Structures are given as structure tokens and as C-alpha cells.
């Protein structure tokens, strides 16, 4: 029986290699099996992103409503706008403003202001509320999101149910530790997260 030439062997090996290689245009399959059960929650998998995900308040929690501004006509509107903007820009950058007017062009006595972030809006409410512009006008400042909260207050008041007393442990028991362990707190995420730890070193 005649032996195959080396050239024939190499050609045969090349043909086998071509058959086993996947096509270049074939996309890889990353799908899970049909019986696969994903038991990892979004909070565990994307813990660093879930806290920053959008919510229903995003976009409106930066808006404040200022009531009690003077009602002026078109000839005095520019001056009123200048006074209002000069006062409220002290709390942050205002990216949008809206002065409602009636059919005659007179302001209705309130204005909507939108800040760049919610922290500036909260500061404006806490600082400017009940501020006296003059003897006849006092600012009443509220967050836009507060209106929905007040609308959802039920008409009939229901007294709260008494809660059973829960005995708490001694919060100063660490002072009695023979090794004099100390406690310290860690505040992060702009104060939204507080952790109390015990120094056992």
C-alpha cells in the first residue's frame, strides 16, 4: 500500500482545521440554560448603581414655588425679575424660571424657580421662607414636591395605634468594657449613611 505524501497529509489536516473553526460572522451565544435560576438581586449585583438610579422625584425635586411676590404690570416686570433673581441666586444656580401672568400681563404673585440640584432648592426653602421683601410682601417658599405630599393627606384623621414597648439594651455598655473599647461613627454619602463601629484594635 502506497504511503501518503507529506503534501497530502498537510492538505488533509488543513481541511479538518477549517471544518472545526467557527464562522467569523457567527455571534457567540451568551444565553443561560433554560433551567438556570438567577438568585442574585439587583441590589447585590449593582449596589453602587442602584442608589443613584432615577426615581419619580428626579426632575421636580429641584423646583421651588415662591408665593407672596408683588403683583406688577409689564412696565415693572423687569425690575421685579431682577430683584427676585438676585435674592434667590444666593442659594445656587437657577437654570429655569417661570412667572405666571394673567391676560393683562400682570404677575399673579408667585414664581417657579428651578435650581441645578436639590440641595440648593432645600437651602432656599429653609432660608428664604417667611423672608420679608418689604412691609407688604413676605415670601412663602415651598418645594414643588411638597404640594403632592399635602394633597395626599386624608380628609379624615385616624389616631395612630399605640405601639408595644420594645426594651433597648444599654447604649453605654461599651464604657464598662474592661479593655476600654471605644466607639466611633463614619458618615458617608453626604450624610445619608451613618455607621457606628467599635474600635477593638
Q: What is the CATH number of the domain that holds 72?
A: 3.30.70.330
Count of structural domains, the chain: 1
CA 121 to chain centre: 14
103: left (phi over 0), alpha (psi -120 to 50) or beta: alpha
Q: Per residue in 65-123, pLDDT tens?
A: 999 999 999 999 999 999 999 999 999 999 999 999 999 999 999 999 999 999 999 99
Tally the C-alpha atoms within 13 A of residue 132's C-alpha that lie toward its C-beta. 3
At residue 54, the 3 state secondary structure works out as: coil
Q: Spell out a b/e string for 1-35, using b for 16 or more CB atoms within 10 Å of the CB, else e.
A: eeeeeeeeeeeeeeeeeeeeeeeeeeeeeeeeeee
Q: Is residue 16 a part of any domain in this protein?
A: no
Q: Is residue 168 a part of any domain in this protein?
A: no
> How many angstroms separate the first and last alpha carbons of the chain?
83
Q: Residue 89 sits in which domain range? A: 63-150
Q: Is residue 76 a part of any domain in this protein?
A: yes
Q: Is residue 188 a part of any domain in this protein?
A: no
Q: Is residue 37 a part of any domain in this protein?
A: no
Q: Is residue 48 a part of any domain in this protein?
A: no
Q: Per residue in 171-184, pLDDT tens?
A: 777 677 776 666 67
Q: Is residue 54 a part of any domain in this protein?
A: no
pLDDT at 13: 52
Q: Is residue 165 a part of any domain in this protein?
A: no
**Which of 124, 126, 103, 127 is CA-nearest to residue 113?**
124
Q: How far is residue 108's CA from residue 54's CA, in Å, rounded to a whole number?
A: 33
> Percentage of the chain with pLDDT > 90?
41
pTM confidence score: 0.51
Amino acid at each position: 500500500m502506497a504511503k501518503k505524501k507529506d503534501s497530502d497529509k498537510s492538505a488533509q489536516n488543513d481541511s479538518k482545521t477549517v471544518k472545526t473553526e467557527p464562522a467569523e460572522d457567527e455571534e457567540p451565544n451568551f444565553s443561560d440554560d433554560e433551567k438556570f435560576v438567577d438568585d442574585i438581586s439587583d441590589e447585590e449585583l449593582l449596589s453602587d448603581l442602584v442608589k443613584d438610579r432615577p426615581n419619580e422625584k428626579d426632575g421636580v425635586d429641584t423646583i421651588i414655588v415662591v408665593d407672596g411676590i408683588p403683583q406688577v404690570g409689564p412696565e415693572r416686570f423687569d425690575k421685579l425679575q431682577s430683584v427676585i433673581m438676585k435674592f434667590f441666586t444666593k442659594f445656587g444656580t437657577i437654570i429655569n424660571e417661570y412667572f405666571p401672568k394673567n391676560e393683562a400681563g400682570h404677575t399673579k404673585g408667585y414664581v417657579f424657580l428651578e435650581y441645578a440640584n436639590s440641595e440648593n432648592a432645600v437651602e432656599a426653602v429653609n432660608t428664604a421662607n417667611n423672608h420679608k421683601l418689604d412691609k407688604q410682601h413676605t415670601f412663602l417658599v415651598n418645594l414643588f414636591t411638597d404640594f403632592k405630599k399635602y394633597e395626599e393627606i386624608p380628609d379624615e384623621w385616624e389616631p395612630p395605634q399605640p405601639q408595644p414597648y420594645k426594651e433597648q439594651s444599654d447604649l453605654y455598655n461599651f464604657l464598662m468594657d474592661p479593655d476600654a473599647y471605644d466607639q466611633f461613627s463614619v458618615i458617608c454619602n453626604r450624610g445619608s449613611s451613618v455607621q457606628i463601629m467599635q474600635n477593638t484594635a
